[in-house]
């Protein structure tokens, strides 16, 4: 049997379970705790209180048999060992620093200063020199082999960090564009929220650019027109939010197609219409079939092939398909 925790509530026998096998760990910012939910029942079977973390942003990472809990606001990284239901040790980071871990490789990323530090996952101390990328960073992504893909917004480039060593920057966007990286099938994809494009990174160079049908903003320093909706996806389709029009875009980086879902998301972004009550707990939400995406919606920058489908197509919808051919 692998490493596990022994948890017990008053009047109940102890329950042993693995920290990293089965179930999921969830954070609760209002209480400053992380809670484990069983994969079969969905019930909580253990909780860890993070010292001084009430009201703070928390993230939970699995690192082998251990858990790493990052208190982003306090700038603290806690190690939780399998034998305990409390942090075993902590390391001080700069407030706002995020932590990522994969295949036993742990990085602390200070997005404001552009500094990246590899950490010892057990001792929480630095391994090797700090990598200074020279400017503000976007959302990073780490593949299963431990490689960290870092978008440098100041220079409009992506830098791959392997074993704590940075590779030459890959130019992907104009300087100061709001760029982020997401993993699609464990491969990095750069999303340029300012230009409204998605670019898969193949090897050490950018792949074919996919134009997203987003409503671009005119202010370069304003909020991005497109933001990633997930840090990683198992397939080649990347979910992206059109923050201006309130649409969900699904960009397939393999074949360059973009699927757009319009009305259902817009109601979520803008909130319910005046006079329309929000569903109470236990009530079913409005049927998404009745809120199909509008067809023929104009795009500021159409991709080479744009297929517009409803989020939940009916049999008649499957027989219809609108294609818009780009320039």
- Domain at 11, CATH number: 2.40.10.480
Same domain, 38 and 163: no
Beta-bridge partner residues of 227: 241
Give me the helices (H) in the chain, please: 263-270, 315-318
C-alpha 118/C-alpha 109 separation (Å) is 9
Residue-level pLDDT at 82: 72
Q: How far is CA 264 from CA 51, 59, 190, 271, 307, in A?
A: 40, 29, 26, 11, 17
- As averages over each run of 10 residues, the pLDDT of the chain (327 residues) reads 34 37 84 89 88 94 91 95 83 96 96 97 95 96 96 97 96 95 95 94 90 72 73 90 86 90 53 38 37 36 38 38 40
The structure tokens 């760029």 sit at 179
Same domain, 110 and 56: no
Same domain, 103 and 88: no
* Number of domains, the chain: 3
In this structure, is residue 62 part of a structural domain? yes
Same domain, 74 and 119: no
Tokens linked to 266: 């817009």
Residue-level pLDDT at 24: 87
Tokens linked to 223: 């909020």
> 78, 94, 110: which is the final residue of a domain?
94
Do residues 30 and 47 lie in contact, with contact meaning Cβ atoms separated by under 8 Å?
no
**DSSP three-state, residue 82:** coil
Same domain, 76 and 55: yes
Q: With DSSP H G I counted as helix, E B as strand and the rest as coil, what are the percentages for the chain, rounded to 5?
A: 5, 40, 55
In this structure, is residue 181 part of a structural domain? no
Same domain, 241 and 322: yes
Do residues 251 and 212 lie in contact, with contact meaning Cβ atoms separated by under 8 Å?
yes
Residue-level pLDDT at 118: 98
Residue 25 phi/psi, 5-degree rounding, is: -100, 130
Same domain, 135 and 203: no
C-alpha 34/C-alpha 30 separation (Å) is 11
pTM over 0.75? The answer is no
> 171, 201, 235: which is the final residue of a domain?
171
Same domain, 130 and 251: no
Same domain, 129 and 165: yes
Domain that holds residue 20: 1-94
> 94, 110, 139: which is the final residue of a domain?
94
In this structure, is residue 119 part of a structural domain? yes
């Amino acid at each position: 049997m692998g490493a596990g925790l022994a948890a017990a509530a008053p009047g109940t026998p102890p329950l042993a379970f693995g920290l990293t096998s089965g179930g999921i760990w969830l954070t609760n910012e209002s209480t400053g705790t992380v809670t484990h939910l069983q994969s079969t029942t969905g019930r909580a079977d253990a909780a860890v209180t993070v010292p001084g973390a009430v009201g703070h942003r928390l993230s939970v990472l699995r690192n082998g048999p251990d858990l790493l809990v990052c208190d982003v606001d306090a700038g603290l990284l806690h190690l939780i060992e399998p034998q305990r239901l409390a942090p075993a040790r902590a390391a001080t980071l700069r407030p706002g620093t995020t932590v990522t871990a994969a295949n036993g490789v742990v990085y602390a990323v200070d997005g404001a200063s552009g500094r990246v530090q590899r950490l010892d996952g057990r001792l929480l101390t630095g391994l090797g020199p700090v990598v200074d990328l020279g400017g503000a960073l976007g959302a990073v992504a780490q593949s299963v082999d431990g490689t960290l893909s870092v978008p440098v917004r100041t220079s409009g480039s992506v830098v791959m960090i392997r074993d704590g060593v940075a590779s030459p920057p890959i130019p992907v966007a104009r300087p100061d564009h709001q760029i982020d990286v997401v993993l699609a099938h464990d491969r990095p994809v750069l999303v340029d929220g300012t230009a409204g494009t998605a670019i898969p990174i193949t090897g050490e160079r950018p792949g074919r650019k996919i134009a997203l049908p987003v409503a671009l903003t005119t202010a370069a320093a304003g909020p991005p027109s497109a933001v990633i909706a997930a840090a990683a996806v198992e397939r080649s389709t990347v979910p992206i939010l059109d923050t201006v029009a309130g649409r969900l875009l699904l960009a397939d980086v393999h074949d360059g197609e973009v699927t757009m879902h319009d009305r259902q998301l817009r109601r979520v972004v803008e909130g319910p219409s005046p006079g329309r009550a929000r569903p109470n707990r236990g009530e079913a939400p409005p049927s998404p079939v009745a809120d199909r995406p509008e067809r023929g919606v104009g795009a500021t920058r159409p991709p080479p092939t744009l297929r517009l489908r409803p989020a939940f197509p009916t049999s008649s919808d499957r027989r219809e398909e609108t294609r818009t051919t780009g320039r």
